[in-house]
Amino acid sequence: MMTAGTLVGIARHAFPKAPMELIEAVDVTVEGGLHGDFRGAVKPGGRGKRQVTLMERGDWDAAMADLGHTIPWQERRVNLLVDGFDIPQVPGTRLRIGAVELEITVECDPCSRMETIATGLKAALTPDWRGGACTRVKVPGRIAIGDPVSVVSFS
């Protein structure tokens, strides 16, 4: 069994292309994902596959090392940054962050917008799920910086 990691970053954006807002804590709901983040709302008829996105600090640091840059992690436009934790690359795996449970749905593919941040960033985030994972909220609650991150169950 994997050891627990730590939630070290929370970011959200109110609308598409909005700047990322760094916050210390946030409520997470089954219907809306992170409170105040436009992407978390489940659309009518949708499955909510991309409600909450997360990535590993080590993967971001490795991408930065590859490129020789020091860009803040939130420019990746994911919601959560975890440290000391290897995100399972297995859809259906359930994670617990604080009181919240998330189910991994798909790899969070780096988009072309990454190239506008730094040339080569999309490619640097592509191998081995470096860009992170997309999740669906299964158990709502509140999360905060410093909360433990662990695997609840594998699919």
Hey, which residues does 81 pair with through a beta bridge?
Answer: 9, 55
What DSSP string describes 106-155?
Answer: EE-PPPTHHHHHSTTHHHHHSGGGTT-EEEEEEE-EEEETT-EEEEEE--
With contact defined as beta carbons under 8 Å apart, do 73 and 60 qualify?
Answer: yes
With contact defined as beta carbons under 8 Å apart, do 103 and 92 qualify?
Answer: yes
pLDDT band at 2 (very low <50, low <70, confident <90, very high): low
- Report how far apart, in Å, the C-alpha atoms of 83 and of each of 8, 31, 35, 48, 147 are: 6, 27, 22, 25, 11
Domain 5-153, CATH: 2.40.33.20
With contact defined as beta carbons under 8 Å apart, do 40 and 34 qualify?
Answer: yes
Q: Which pLDDT tens digit goes with each residue over 79-135?
A: 999 999 999 999 999 999 999 999 999 999 988 889 999 999 999 999 999 999 999
Amino acid in the structure at residue 69: H
What does the DSSP 8-state code read for residue 82? Answer: E
pLDDT at 1 over 50: no
Stated pTM of the model: 0.94
Q: Which pLDDT tens digit goes with each residue over 44-63?
A: 777 788 899 999 999 999 99
Length of the chain in terms of residues written: 155
pLDDT at 153 over 90: no
* In the chain, domain spans: 5-153
With contact defined as beta carbons under 8 Å apart, do 130 and 67 qualify?
Answer: no
